[in-house]
């Protein structure tokens, strides 16, 4: 049980490193600026909630996990 958790933590760490290395290219995708994202700017207050981006990333992650579990 502990070895399985350690394995997943190592995999998560490797994925985090790969995302960090690929960040300059990922940031060019302009995720977080999709239609449907909530962005309110007022004097002294800014609210940003990436609603559509969250849905897209959730669907992609669900699809990837579904493929790996098959």
pLDDT in tens, 16-67: 999 889 888 877 877 678 888 898 999 999 999 989 988 988 999 899 888 8
Give residue 70's pLDDT band: very low, low, confident or very high (50, 70, 90).
Answer: confident
Q: What are phi and psi of 13, to 5 degrees?
A: -65, -40
- pLDDT in the model for residue 1: 67
Q: Please report the pLDDT score of residue 59 as a whole number.
A: 95
Residue by residue, DSSP assigns 31-47 as TT-STT-EEEEETTEEE
- Residue 26 has a pLDDT of 78
Residue 27: phi, psi to the nearest 5?
Answer: -65, -20
């Amino acid at each position: 049980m502990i070895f399985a958790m350690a394995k997943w933590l190592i995999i998560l760490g490797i994925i985090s490193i790969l995302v960090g290395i690929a960040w300059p290219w990922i940031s060019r995708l302009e995720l977080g600026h999709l239609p449907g994202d909530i962005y309110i700017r007022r004097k002294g207050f800014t609210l940003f909630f990436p609603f559509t981006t969250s849905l897209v990333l959730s669907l992609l992650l669900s699809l990837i996990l579904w493929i790996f579990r098959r």
